[in-house]
Amino acid sequence: LKGKYLKDEL
């Protein structure tokens, strides 16, 4: 994943 954390929210 590119960002620092997974964007699991919508």
| Interacting residues with other proteins (CB under 8 A) | 1-4, 6-10
Give the residue ranges of DSSP H helices in the chain: none
Q: How far is the CB of 9 from other proteins (least distance, A)?
A: 7
Residue 4 CB, nearest approach to other proteins (Å): 6
End-to-end CA distance of the chain: 16
Smallest gap from Cβ 1 to other proteins, in A, equals: 5
Tokens of 5: 């954390």
